[in-house]
Amino acid sequence: MSDEIAATPGAKMIFLIKRRADATRDELVANWYKNHMPAVIAGQAQAGAEGRVHATKYIATLFDQRPGRDVPWDGMAQLWFDRAIPNPPEPHGTVPADTFQQKAEPYVGWATTEYVVIDGELPLAPNTLNEPFPATRSGFFKVSFLVPGRDGVDYDAAFRHWLDAHAPNVRNVMNEIGGLRYVVNHSQDPANEAYIGMAELYFSGPEGWDDYRATITEDGFSEYVDFSRLVNMWATTQMVGIAG
């Protein structure tokens, strides 16, 4: 692996969230913020106080639903732990514990290793008239890529190329066009996941995404990635539960 791009210690657990067929997006998001996030925040604080494994950071990204674009997920929760957290015998929410889980399809965790390639800070202002968190933030345009490997791909070779060739290529482009932040996440168990990883690119606005697409060049990553199944989703809002 590249010595230049260091891994964040521990595991970044990702939970992709999709609403149930009888729920609206507004219902899902409202109950996520009001009912689910405070319970997760409290639970992680209690676990930490008791010396148990607990999340040190918790952020949820809300994916934009745009006309003419098939967006398979409504959002994703990301929690940072000192090691991967196993999934329960049944997906979370199979038996709903709160109204959010009544509105969301059952979901599982995806353990990844995070590499922060461009560590651009995003604005965050905790609430002042209520509990500081959960809080929301915006002022960015984020593109999240779910990256599928080609059939029979050598995962180690794919990850080496991602960090040694592709990530530096993307970083150079992001620096050239004024991108805000760039994060790579590698699946810790890629053989048993739908995607070998995820990339997260932050821009100051949608024009940055246009500039990126007009500037990026091929670097051989297509040898490892099935771009026909690549999923990219846009976001302009995040909910922050634990700032980290």
Helix (H) or strand (E) holding 110: strand 110-118
Q: Check pLDDT > 60 for residue 2.
A: no
Q: Check pLDDT > 80 for residue 21.
A: yes
Domain ranges of the chain: 11-242
Distance CA 100, CA 19 (A): 9
Q: Check pLDDT > 60 for residue 55.
A: yes
Question: What is the tens place of the pLDDT at every residue in 59-102?
Answer: 999 999 877 778 999 999 999 999 999 999 999 999 999 999 99
In this structure, are residues 133 and 243 in contact, taking their beta carbons and an 8 Å threshold? yes
Question: What is the tens place of the pLDDT at every residue in 181-210?
Answer: 999 999 999 999 999 999 999 999 999 999
**Taken in order 69, 75, 79, 85, is the CA torsion positive or negative?**
negative
Decide if domain 11-242 falls under CATH 3.30.70.2860.
no
Helix ranges (H only) for 1-154 are: 25-31, 37-49, 99-103
Q: CB-side exposure of 104: number of CA atoms within 13 Å? A: 31
**Of the candidates 115, 123, 128, 145, the residue with the CA atom closest to the CA atom of residue 212:** 145
Counted residue by residue, the chain has a size of: 244
Distance CA 149, CA 230 (A): 9
Q: Check residue 66 and give its pLDDT.
A: 79
Q: Check pLDDT > 50 for residue 223.
A: yes
- Residue-averaged pLDDT of the chain: 96
